[in-house]
Amino acid sequence: MSEPSVSKWLNGKVNMTLSQFVRVAELLKATPEQLLFDPKESLKAARYKEIAELANELDSEKLDIWIKTGKAMSTK
What is the structure's pLDDT at 36?
Answer: 84
What is the structure's pLDDT at 76?
Answer: 59
Q: Integer distance in angstroms from the first to the last C-alpha of the chain?
A: 43
DSSP element (H, E) containing 59: none
Q: What is the pLDDT of residues 16-65, one digit of tens each?
A: 888 889 999 999 999 888 888 887 887 887 888 888 888 889 998 998 99
* Per-domain boundaries in the chain: 1-30, 38-76
Contact 35, 24 (CB under 8 A): yes
Contact 33, 49 (CB under 8 A): yes
